[in-house]
Amino acid sequence: MQLARVAQSMVGVALVLFTLAEYRSPELAGVVMFFTLFPGILVSPVAGALLDRHGRVRLIRLDYLVALATMLAIGGLSLLDLLTPVWLIVIATIASITGPFSQTGLRSLFPMMVPEQLWERINAFDSNGYVVASIFGPPLAAGLVALAGPQVAVMAIAVPYGLSALVLIGVREPLSVTQTSGRLLRDAADGMRYVWRNATLRGLGFSISTLNLAGGIGTIVIPLLVLERLGGNELLVGVAFALSGISGMVSVFLFGRLDSRGREWAMLVYPMALTVPVTALLLIADAEPIVAFMPMVGLSVIGLSMFLLGLLYGPLDIALFTIRQRRTERAWMGRGFSVSMAFNFAGFPIGAALAGVLASISLDAAIIAAVLASGLATVFAAVMVPRQAPTLSGSDDTHQAIGL
């Protein structure tokens, strides 16, 4: 998991820097990020049904092998001068389609292997898997782009993916309970209905997906701010993202030791509200006097914003993971998690694509869009996520809601 997450954290930075270096187009960078992520979101209901029916480990390994092949294809074709923008988008789409197998497969394994009283701690471990990856992955990707070139950087990402596939050889599936109709598309549709009729998962979908709009915008805005507005280099782009990871690790360790039962709503809503002013700090970094006369101040403001965002995402992640686990029945964890995670993440590729368009007009417009998205996400979380878990008997959140 950790090897693959380092690779995943490298992909976003490496592909954005690769596209900017090869094609000089923020719009294309946003489109590539969109197709790196969004097709996987569309197929996530089917992926969840397959995970529930056929086990997780083999499908996780399949995704790692597909990711290995696509990274080698992008870098190799570019070195041969055969990679057109269309082919770049096609290959990114192929990589995206199998993504839910590893992302959902790993996350749905944890509550099957760990007793419920330790879910906060295993979720802290899970969250820190992403945090550790965000510390090492972006600087590594940015450094490889700066030192070896964008093609080599993309091809290097295949190495941790390949090692991840090798490590999984011999890993056994945990025992699990599955409810299935025997038909793949029916199971996928049932998973979508289950999530929609589950008040908690539905509320999380609207709030977290809107918050991820801001995250997607940030993947395009931060490199453009550092490289084009403030005169920094690719390594500084990686450092900015790593600062978020470092503070996030501290935050996750602190909040992962707390019993989140009865506190999930507060741990979601309050940090989310604070992301609004923290994201707005980027407007200072893009202010003309800062850009013209004090670029180091601008870079410091970006670092501060990313550091504070990492602190805020610690309790938010723990609450998100545990509330989803507690309010999803075990027999539905594959489909429920896959659809829920896709719903939650849908805003990220849309935000990246939107940022590519807005940034070509004005970076400030893209930053303001991220601020507004963070504020709207807070409203959705406060209003739509139930403060207390609904009772299972006769509630929206049970299997009875889909007629089983």
Give tens-digit pLDDT for 169-227: 888 877 665 665 567 778 788 888 888 989 999 999 999 999 999 999 998 899 989 98
SS3 341: helix
Q: How far is CA 299 from the centre of its chain?
A: 24
* pLDDT value, residue 309: 93
Q: Rounded CA gap, 283 and 278, in Å?
A: 10
Contact 32, 89 (CB under 8 A): yes
Cα first-last separation, the chain:
34
As a whole number, mean pLDDT of residues 364-386 equals: 94
* pLDDT value, residue 393: 37
Instruction: Report whether pLDDT(392) > 60.
Output: no
Per mean pLDDT, which range of 110-114, 322-326, 391-395 is the poorest?
391-395
* pLDDT value, residue 278: 95
* pLDDT value, residue 319: 86
Q: Which is more confidently placed, 39 or 54? A: 39
* pLDDT value, residue 272: 95
Give tens-digit pLDDT for 262-271: 788 999 999 9
Instruction: Kindly report the average pLDDT of the chain as a whole number.
Output: 85
**Strand locations in 300-342, DSSP E?**
none
* pLDDT value, residue 103: 82
| Number of domain units in the chain | 1
Q: Rounded CA gap, 34 and 30, in Å?
A: 6
Give me 13's structure tokens: 């930075």
| CA-to-CA separations, 79 to 74, 84, 154, 161, 310, in angstroms, rounded | 9, 12, 11, 21, 36
Of 21, 2, 3, nearest to 144 by C-alpha is 21
What does the chain come to in residues?
404
* pLDDT value, residue 402: 28
| CA-to-CA separations, 221 to 69, 246, 277, 349, 359, in angstroms, rounded | 29, 20, 16, 13, 7
Contact 334, 48 (CB under 8 A): yes
Instruction: Report whether pLDDT(295) > 90.
Output: no
Tell me whether residue 386 is exposed, middle or buried, using C-beta atoms within 10 angstroms of its C-beta: 0 to 12, 13 to 18, 19 or more: middle
DSSP 226-270: IIIIS---HHHHHHHHHHHHHHHHHHHHHHHTS--TTTHHHHHHH
Which residues contact residue 295 at a Cβ distance below 8 angstroms, ignoring those fewer than 6 apart?
230, 231, 232
Top mean pLDDT of 158-167, 229-238, 383-392 is at 158-167
Per mean pLDDT, which range of 206-210, 230-234, 373-377 is the poorest?
230-234
Q: Which is more confidently placed, 65 or 56? A: 65
Tell me whether residue 365 is exposed, middle or buried, using C-beta atoms within 10 angstroms of its C-beta: 0 to 12, 13 to 18, 19 or more: middle
Q: Which is more confidently placed, 55 or 306? A: 306
* pLDDT value, residue 90: 95
For residue 377, the enclosing domain spans: 2-402
* pLDDT value, residue 249: 82
* pLDDT value, residue 51: 79
Q: How far is CA 53 from the centre of its chain?
A: 25
The enclosing domain of 70 has a CATH number of 1.20.1250.20
* pLDDT value, residue 257: 73
Per-residue pLDDT band for 382 (boundaries 50, 70, 90) equals very high
Contact 61, 168 (CB under 8 A): yes
* pLDDT value, residue 404: 28
Per-residue pLDDT band for 323 (boundaries 50, 70, 90) equals confident
Q: Which helix H or strand E contains 50, and what residues bound it?
A: helix 44-54
Q: Rounded CA gap, 279 and 369, in Å?
A: 10
At residue 54, what is the residue type?
H
Give me 209's structure tokens: 């997906």
* pLDDT value, residue 377: 96
Is the sign of the CA dihedral 234, 235, 236, 240 positive or negative?
A: positive
Give tens-digit pLDDT for 153-180: 999 999 999 999 999 888 887 766 566 5
Q: Rounded CA gap, 135 and 246, in Å?
A: 6
